[in-house]
Amino acid sequence: MLRHLESNYIRKKYLLTEITDKKVANLIHDCITQPSKTKRLTAYEQLTHIVFDLTGGFDINAFKFKSSKDLSRAGD
């Protein structure tokens, strides 16, 4: 992920586009590279809020699996 942010070569090789939102790009970078666990967690929380805002949020009570897998035997 970090190479996607920093390397034109990697983006070209894998046909990736640059992340245009610099705030998101910087937060991803901070999530990976900050030496302080607290700073990494803060960046991750900020990034999560941005993603939830863009996707309409997350409601655990409305969450549904899209798989038909039988989960009744999850402990087996």
Say yes or no to pLDDT of 74 above 60: no
Tokens 């190479």 — which residue? 3
Weakest mean pLDDT among 15-19, 25-29, 39-43, 47-51: 15-19
Cβ(14)–Cβ(26) below 8 Å: no
Ramachandran class of 62: left when φ > 0, alpha when ψ lies in -120 to 50, beta otherwise:
alpha
What pLDDT is attached to residue 55?
A: 87
Residue 35 belongs to a domain? yes
Residue 37 belongs to a domain? yes
Residue 31 belongs to a domain? yes
Residue 74 belongs to a domain? no
Average pLDDT, the chain: 85
Q: Could you tell me the residue range of the domain that residue 36 belongs to?
A: 21-57
Nearest Cα neighbor of 5 from 55, 47, 56 is 47
**Digit-coded pLDDT (tens) for 45-66:** 999 999 999 888 888 888 777 7
Cβ(49)–Cβ(56) below 8 Å: no
Residue 11 belongs to a domain? no
What pLDDT is attached to residue 73?
A: 59
